[in-house]
Structure 1
Amino acid sequence: MAKKEFEASKAEGAHRRLAAMAGDWEGTFKLWFEPGDPVCESKQTGSIRSVLGGRFLLHEYETEMNGEPISGIALYGHHLDGGTWEAAWGESFGTGTQLMYCTGPAAGGFNVLGSYGDGQGGPDWGWRTEIEQPDADTLVIVMTNISPDGEEAKAVETRYTRKR
C-alpha cells in the first residue's frame, strides 16, 4: 500500500467511510436462533474508535442475553491492495475462543463473509456481517447465518444511535 493511496482513501474513499463510524453508540441488540421472532432483545452499548492512524476501526461492545452479559470486539478495515473489506470478530458468547476472520469485495458497502465449525466435526457454516450507516448518527449491523446447504437466516441485528 502506498502512502498516497491511503491518504486518498482517508480523504475520499473507504477509510473515510470507516472514520465516519467512529464514536460512542447505544441501541438495541436482537438475536435469532431460527426464523421468526427474536429470542432476545436487549440494550447494547458500543465504542468504535479509529486505530493505527485510521487504518482500522476497533469496535468494543456490551449487551446481554437472558441476564447474562455478552461482550465483544471487532476489528474492521479496508485492504487497499486486496480491494476487500475485512473483519476479525470475537465475543464472549457467539464465537467462544475462535476469532472469526471475514472478507468481502470492496464494491458497495461493508459486507464480509466468514465461517465457523459446528463443534461436532460437520461442515462449516457461513456468517455474513453487513454494516450500513444511513446517516451520521445511525449505524445498523446485521449478521446472517448461512447453513452448509446455503440457507440464510438473520441471526443478529444491532441498531445503534450515536450518543451525544
Structure 2
Amino acid sequence: MTFEKSNESPHHFFAQLAGNWRGTSKLWLEPDTLAGETPIVGTIQLILEGRFALFLYQSSIEGEAQHGMFTFGYNTLLDRYETSWVDSFSQQHRHHVLHRQRDRERLLGPRLLP
C-alpha cells in the first residue's frame, strides 16, 4: 500500500514524530490543580508501514516508576487522528480523537534528543 507523501499527509506527520523524546510530564488529578511534574523519556517508532506511530515511555509518579504505550493513528473514513494508550499508573485503556490541524500542532512540542 502506498501513502501520500505530501508535507500535509498524516503519514508525513507520523514520520516527523519518530525518534527519541525527553520532556516534562504533568499530572492533573482534578481540574485546575497540578498534582505533580516529573521528567519523561520515550521513543516514537513508525509501525505497520508508517500507518501508525507507537510511543513507548517511562516516567515516575511520587517516586514510583511508570510506563506507558501510546498509539497514534489516522482514521481515513472520518478524516481525523485517533489515539489510544495504556499505562501502569491508571491501569485503564483510553481512546481520544484529535481534530486534525489544531491538535496536530500541539503534539509537536520541543524535541530534545536527536
Fold conserved between structures, TM > 0.5: yes
Report the structure number with the largest CA radius of gyration. Answer: 1
Once the two structures are TM-superposed, the CA of residue 105 in structure 1 deviates from its matched residue by: 3.8
Consecutive unaligned residues of structure 1, counting only runs of 5 or more, are 112-129, 139-160
Inter-partner Cα distance in structure 2 for 1:60 and 1:72: 6
Corresponding pairs, count? 112
Inter-partner Cα distance in structure 2 for 1:32 and 1:84: 26
Which one of 10, 21, 24 corresponds to residue 25 of structure 1?
Answer: 21
Which one of 42, 50, 54 corresponds to residue 46 of structure 2?
Answer: 50
**Identity, % of aligned positions:** 28
Inter-partner Cα distance in structure 2 for 1:93 and 1:42: 14
Consecutive unaligned residues of structure 2, counting only runs of 5 or more, are none
Once the two structures are TM-superposed, the CA of residue 163 in structure 1 deviates from its matched residue by: 1.1
Q: Who is 1:162 aligned against?
A: 112
Once the two structures are TM-superposed, the CA of residue 14 in structure 1 deviates from its matched residue by: 1.6
TM, length-normalised to structure 2: 0.84
- Give the conservation status (yes or no) of the 8 Å contact 1:25–1:47: yes
Taking a change above 3 Å as real, the CA distance of residues 72 and 84 of structure 1, as seen in their structure-2 partners, is same
Q: Who is 1:132 aligned against?
A: 107
Inter-partner Cα distance in structure 1 for 2:51 and 2:36: 34
Pairwise mapping of residues 136-147 of structure 1 onto structure 2 (< 5 A)?
Answer: 138=110
- Give the conservation status (yes or no) of the 8 Å contact 1:57–1:77: yes
- The amino acid of 1:11's aligned partner reads S
SS in 2 for 1:162: coil
Deviations 1:95-136 (A, max 9, x none): x1x322222443x1436xxxxxxxxxxxxxxxxxx84315xx
Once the two structures are TM-superposed, the CA of residue 26 in structure 1 deviates from its matched residue by: 0.9
Q: Who is 2:55 aligned against?
A: 59
Q: CA RMSD in A?
A: 2.1
